[in-house]
């Protein structure tokens, strides 16, 4: 790994994002609009909005970062950019960490804007403090980014990359505990839920909403961070140097 090359890669990706207003809108505007819509769906029940809104502060960034990252990496490969970059001193890890750094910056902006709207305007409440919510939402977005980088290696077109969304993201959404408590699921679904990283992000946000900062919360954060590292490592191992 070369820190200078990694930083240069991150800078290049950030410049590409800055020049792509549709992607910026996907990352920042869409989650904010969805959060506003959710607030008025539950206009008569602030408690319900607090409960669901906190979870969606982690889910929305996860989904958008997964989609944008998987398509962006695939575009690099199909356009031939990746092959040209690998003729230089760029290593796979430099590339992935550069992407991770660039999208981490985008994630901070995304989570910051959505949280500012949710807590400042919409009255969302987290008993354990906004800091914990921001940390978990950021970790959830980085998890989506890491999984997006990983699955992009298995797609040949942008359409195929998008097809991974229902295959990878929707099962996690259904089993994460947002729609029904994980403890009330049948044994098989509860077992599957325990294997999916989004379950731990949502559980952590739920505990923050209840004002509970304990060993379970720290475990949830640790699991999400471990899954980010594992996804990046697998992404480096499966990233092809040549476009077939």
Structure tokens at 107: 């994630």
| Within-domain flag for 113 | yes
| Within-domain flag for 111 | yes
Task: Give mean pLDDT, residues 173-180.
Answer: 91
| Contact between residue 169 and residue 62 where contact means Cβ atoms under 8 Å apart | yes
CA distances from 91 to 96, 121, 134, 142 (A): 9, 44, 32, 21
- Spell out the SS3 assignment of the chain: CCHHHHHHHHHHHHHHHHCCHHHHHHHHHHHHHHHHHHHHHCCCCHHHHHHHHHHHHHHHHHHHHHHHHHHHHHHHHHCCHHHHHCCCCCCHHHHHHHHHHHHHHHHHHHHHHHHHHHHHHCCCCCCCCHHHHHHHHHHHHHHHHHHHHHHHHHCCCHHHHHHHHHHHHHHHHHHCCCCCCHHHCCHHHHHHHHHCHHHHHHHHHHHHHCCCCCHHHHHHHHHHHHHHHHHHHHHHHHCCCCCC
**Structure confidence at residue 86 as a pLDDT band (50, 70, 90):** low
213: Cβ contacts below 8 Å, ≥ 6 apart: 128, 132, 207
| Within-domain flag for 214 | yes
Phi, psi of 214 (to 5 degrees): -145, -170
| Contact between residue 238 and residue 151 where contact means Cβ atoms under 8 Å apart | no
**Structure confidence at residue 203 as a pLDDT band (50, 70, 90):** very high
Domain count of the fold of the chain: 1
> What pLDDT does 186 receive?
93
Average pLDDT over the chain, rounded to whole?
Answer: 86
| Within-domain flag for 121 | yes
> What pLDDT does 1 receive?
66
pLDDT in tens, 223-232: 999 999 998 8
The reported pTM is: 0.86
| Within-domain flag for 243 | no
| Within-domain flag for 179 | yes
Rounded to whole angstroms, how far apart are CA atoms 200 and 228? 13
| Within-domain flag for 52 | yes
- Domain range for 12 is 3-238
Task: Give mean pLDDT, residues 26-53.
Answer: 87
| Within-domain flag for 32 | yes
């Amino acid at each position: 790994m070369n820190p200078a090359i990694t930083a240069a890669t991150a800078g290049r990706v950030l410049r590409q994002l800055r020049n792509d207003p549709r992607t910026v809108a996907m990352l920042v505007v869409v989650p904010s609009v969805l959060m506003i819509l959710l607030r008025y769906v539950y206009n008569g029940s602030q408690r319900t909005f607090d409960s669901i809104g906190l979870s969606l502060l982690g889910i929305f960034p996860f989904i958008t970062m997964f989609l944008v990252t998987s398509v962006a990496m695939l575009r690099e490969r199909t356009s031939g950019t990746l092959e040209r970059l690998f003729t230089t001193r760029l290593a796979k890890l430099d590339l992935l960490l550069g992407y991770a750094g660039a999208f981490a910056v985008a994630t901070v902006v995304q989570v910051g804007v959505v949280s500012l709207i949710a807590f400042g305007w919409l009255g969302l409440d987290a008993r354990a403090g906004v800091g914990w919510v921001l940390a978990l939402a950021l970790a959830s977005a980085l998890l989506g980014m890491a999984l997006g980088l990983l699955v992009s290696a298995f797609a040949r077109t942008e359409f195929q990359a998008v097809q991974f969304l229902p295959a990878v993201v929707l099962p996690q959404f259904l089993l994460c505990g947002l729609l029904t408590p994980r403890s009330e699921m049948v044994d098989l679904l509860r077992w599957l839920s325990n294997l999916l990283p989004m379950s731990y992000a949502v559980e952590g946000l739920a505990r923050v909403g209840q004002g509970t900062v304990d060993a379970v919360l720290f475990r949830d954060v640790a699991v999400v961070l471990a899954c980010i590292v594992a996804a990046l490592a697998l992404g480096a191992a499966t990233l092809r140097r040549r476009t077939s």
